[in-house]
């Protein structure tokens, strides 16, 4: 069966077509500037040296999906003869609240449940739902599956997810920690178990998804028991532009001093903070490292603060799980930033964590980075959220 994976943002859309007999990617693509002037689709057929690019107005997600379907069935750069050859569609959906702890076939009831979660993810769930509606309109007979960023963390125990604020806010508004990046944490954890030749149920893992958005998860016996993101993706690690954990009193303090509204504070904490906020240089770690090499003190500080927070969570999760068997790095920074992995893993020998600096000189390739005498394995595993979505979709629709 071929599966189409759709990841719909507010003005962009990523897609992949996978052949599930071999789990190989047949094509992938990106639509940008949906609903904005200059809409464009960039489509890449696996094995083709040239990408297909078309600039054409796309007023909404339905028009964008129509172009995606055209691209994947196109006689020249397409990968299927007709849409009949797409057996199912898997949709990435950010927030399923407490409703789903695993992927589900999308029914009218599921759509209703996801609409109820819009208040929890007002920026993310509406475009995800728009993508589902667009596919439903254009491929009414193809089964669809929702794969949720929050689902994997639904196994967290209450002591991990309850905030110490009046309990009525949990009861009234479902304010609790949810966690995100679940598909990625699950993928790399399962892959780590495979590489180590162990049953995931016998392992304690710490997965570090370090991208522009970043989170760390403690996985005990195959289940997420804690993760650094919370009610929203703002909590936890320092990120590209997000503050991560801060004293909540800072919000009201800045609001008073600068005469800012709650929405403006939210914007500052989500878009102007993190390593960008500290450095004033960039949210991109490559730029920060270049600036740091040139002696930029604030870029150096931003990198140190980022590493400090990752180490902080690793230590906390080792305590929570009473040990760890492997620490896994993934996503843009985790897969590519050799220097950052060095700093995060340095001087942890007393915990049994010893990185091999030579083995660590690698980017984007599954590798064991720890020294042979390191009690705890350190691993680099590139994430593959699309494959995970396609797997869940295939398993629910085959
Ligand atoms: P997201 O999916 O959250 O947008 P990614 O996982 O794609 O993020 O990670 C993007 C980030 O990865 C970039 O902002 C950049 O900081 C970092 N990154 C990518 N390549 C490198 C590299 N070679 N060295 C250091 N950082 C890198």
> Which pLDDT tens digits describe the chain residue by residue (398 residues)?
999 999 998 899 999 999 999 999 999 999 999 999 999 999 999 999 999 999 999 999 999 999 999 999 999 999 999 999 999 999 999 999 999 999 999 999 999 999 999 999 988 899 999 999 999 999 999 999 999 999 999 999 999 999 999 999 999 999 999 999 999 999 999 999 999 999 999 999 999 999 999 999 999 999 999 999 999 999 999 999 999 999 999 999 999 999 999 999 999 999 999 999 999 999 999 999 999 999 999 999 999 999 999 999 999 999 999 999 999 999 999 999 999 999 999 999 999 999 999 999 999 999 999 999 999 999 999 999 999 999 999 999 99
> What's residue 123's pLDDT?
86
> What's residue 10's pLDDT?
85
Active site residues: 149
Q: How many CA atoms lie within 13 A of 187 on its CB side?
A: 24
C-alpha 272 – ligand 1 centre gap (Å): 17
* Other CB atoms within 10 A of residue 388 CB: 25
* Other CB atoms within 10 A of residue 183 CB: 25
198-385: same fold as 2-148?
yes
- Cα–Cα distance for residue pair 65/73, rounded to 1 Å: 12
CA 24 to chain centre: 21
With CA atoms as reference, report the closest residue to 331 among 238, 222, 214. Answer: 214
Supply the DSSP string of 253-273, one letter for each residue.
HHHHHHT--HHHHHHHHHHS-
pTM of the full structure: 0.95
- Cα–Cα distance for residue pair 68/43, rounded to 1 Å: 8
> What's residue 204's pLDDT?
98
Helix (H) or strand (E) holding 13: strand 13-19
Please state which CATH class domain 198-385 belongs to: alpha beta
- Cα–Cα distance for residue pair 31/132, rounded to 1 Å: 16
C-alpha 32 – ligand 1 centre gap (Å): 19
> What's residue 98's pLDDT?
95
Domain boundaries, the chain: 2-148, 198-385
End-to-end CA distance of the chain: 8
For ligand 1, atom 13, which residue shows the shortest CA distance?
284
> What's residue 279's pLDDT?
98
Question: Candidates 310, 333, 360: which one to mutate for ligand 1, based on the most atoms within 8 Å of Cβ?
Answer: 333
C-alpha 337 – ligand 1 centre gap (Å): 8
C-alpha 33 – ligand 1 centre gap (Å): 21
The domain at 2-148 falls in which architecture?
2-Layer Sandwich (3.30)
For ligand 1, atom 27, which residue shows the shortest CA distance?
333
- Cα–Cα distance for residue pair 386/383, rounded to 1 Å: 9
The β-bridge relationship of strands 104-105 and 204-210 is unpaired
Burial class of residue 255 in the structure, from the number of CB atoms within 10 Å of its CB (0-12 exposed, 13-18 middle, 19+ buried): middle
Ligand 1 shell residues, CB under 6 Å: 211-213, 240, 284-286, 331-333, 336-337
> Is the CB of residue 5 less than 8 Å from the CB of residue 92?
yes
């Amino acid at each position: 069966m071929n599966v189409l994976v759709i990841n719909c943002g507010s003005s962009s859309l990523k897609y992949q077509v996978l052949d599930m007999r071999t789990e190989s990617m047949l094509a992938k693509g990106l639509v940008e500037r949906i609903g904005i002037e200059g809409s464009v689709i960039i489509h890449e057929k696996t094995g083709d040296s040239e990408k297909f690019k078309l600039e054409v107005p796309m007023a909404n997600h339905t028009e964008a999906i129509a172009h995606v379907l055209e691209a994947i069935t196109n006689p020249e750069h397409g990968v299927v003869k007709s849409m009949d050859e797409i057996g199912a569609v898997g949709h990435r959906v950010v927030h399923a609240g407490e409703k789903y702890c695993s992927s589900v076939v999308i029914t009218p009831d599921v759509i209703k449940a996801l609409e109820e979660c819009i208040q929890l993810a007002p920026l993310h769930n509406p475009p995800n739902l728009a993508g589902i509606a667009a596919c439903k309109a254009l491929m009414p007979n193809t089964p669809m599956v929702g794969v949720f960023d929050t689902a994997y963390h639904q196994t967290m125990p209450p002591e991990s997810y309850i905030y110490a604020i009046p309990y009525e806010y949990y009861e009234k508004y479902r304010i609790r920690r949810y966690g995100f990046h679940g598909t990625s944490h699950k993928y790399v954890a399962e892959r780590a178990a495979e590489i180590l030749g162990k049953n995931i149920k016998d392992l304690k893992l710490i997965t570090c998804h370090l991208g522009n958005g970043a989170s760390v998860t403690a996985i005990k016996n195959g289940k997420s028991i804690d993760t650094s993101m919370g009610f929203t993706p703002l909590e936890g690690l320092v990120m590209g532009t997000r503050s991560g954990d801060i004293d909540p009193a800072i919000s009201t303090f800045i609001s008073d001093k600068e005469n800012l509204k709650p929405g403006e504070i939210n914007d500052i904490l989500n878009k102007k903070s993190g390593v960008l906020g500290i450095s004033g240089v960039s949210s991109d770690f490559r730029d920060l490292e270049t600036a740091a090499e040139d002696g930029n003190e604030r870029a150096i500080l931003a990198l140190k603060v980022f590493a400090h927070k990752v180490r902080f969570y690793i230590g906390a999760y080792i305590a929570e799980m009473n040990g760890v068997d492997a620490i896994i790095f993934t996503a843009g920074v985790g897969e590519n930033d050799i220097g950052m992995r060095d700093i995060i893993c340095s001087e942890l020998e007393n915990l049994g964590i010893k990185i091999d600096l030579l083995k660590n000189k690698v980017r984007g390739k599954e590798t064991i980075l720890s020294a042979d005498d390191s009690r705890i394995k350190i691993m680099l595993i590139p994430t593959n959220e699309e494959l995970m979505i396609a797997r869940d979709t295939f398993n629910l629709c085959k």
